[in-house]
A = this chain, B = another copy of it.
Amino acid sequence: LRVTIKDIAKKADVSANTVSRALNDRGEISEETKQKVLRIAKELGYIPNSLARGLVSRRTKTIGVTVGDNRNPYFAGIVKAIEDAARERGYNIILCNTDEDYDKEKEIIRLLREKMVDGLLITPVDRKGEDIRELRRINFPFVLISRYIDGLKTDYVVNDNVTGAYLAVKCLIEKGHRRIGHIAGPSPISAGTDRFKGYEKALDESGIEYDESLVIWNNVKIEDGQRSMEELLKMDDRPTAAFTFSDYVALGALRAIHDAKLKIPDDIALVGYDDVEFSPFLEVPLTTVHQPRVRIGEMATEILIDKIEGKSSGGTHQVILQPELVIRSSC
């Protein structure tokens, strides 16, 4: 079916090896035969077979990428940056969604290793991350994105979620809010607990007592945000403000607020996290915490590929970017 170097060899009346040399422009070969082989290869519409090549070179030039859900514009931006950076260096990406499910993540990583990806870019779904620790143990190349694993000394590119959340909630407090809800992320995710810590810290610093009933965990999807905000709103002593785990989740919160015919920020103030594309354009422009998605994706990719190709400067790369509060009208 597909034309191989053997076919070219036959037609060019040389050995398969010579064809290989011509195509890869490697080893000694006369300009004449090289040109001849190249010409015939083109005539025959030759396309190399990466499987065969990878089998011997032990390189596939593809990296695995796992994110929670590529529809979340935060992840979408990172994935785009990764894909651009990877292709720039000759790599493709296999994209997988974990849906923030640990078993799924484990399965995905196993599958990606079967496919012999050269490395992994992972947004781990669990701070414990036994699967990730295993990767570390066997020295498989990977870089964590946006989240880390407790006590694991490994490469990652994250942002300072504690500080980011702290800034967000402090902004709310400065506007006079004392009862502030938190529509939190999943607690197994480092970004979830870190943003919660920032929330706690801001309250604590202002002498506001922490009220457990104001924190609803495990919000990842839009519907999660809606349900949680509905819950917050039907409290007897409902909060006057809320900090959501992400802008994406805030979309659901927005719907709940809208359905309850409440006004932002007068009835309830809102602050998100991530600063995604749509955030400035919402019904009321969303105050949020900015993260440089392009840089995050690019850096993680560069670190990973350098490591794969042995160009790593040694040592572990632990990048912690400083987030930035973007104040708009929702608070």
Contact = CB atoms under 8 A, between A and B. Distances in A.
A79 to B, nearest CB: 6
B94 A94 contact: yes
Contacts of A318: none
B73 A70 contact: no
A47 B80 contact: no
Interface stretch (A28-36, A160-168, A175-183, A279-287): A279-287
B51 A116 contact: yes
Contact of A73 (B49, B71, B283): B71
A84 to B, nearest CB: 7
A190 B114 CA distance: 38
The oligomer's copy count stands at: 2
A141 to B, nearest CB: 13
A69 interface: yes
23 contacts: A47-B110, A49-B116, A50-B114, A50-B115, A52-B55, A55-B55, A62-B94, A62-B115, A70-B70, A70-B79, A70-B80, A79-B95, A80-B97, A87-B96, A92-B111, A93-B95, A94-B94, A95-B95, A248-B277, A254-B281, A278-B278, A283-B283, A283-B285
* Across the A-B interface, the 5 shortest Cβ-Cβ residue pairs: A278-B278, A95-B95, A71-B76, A51-B55, A50-B115
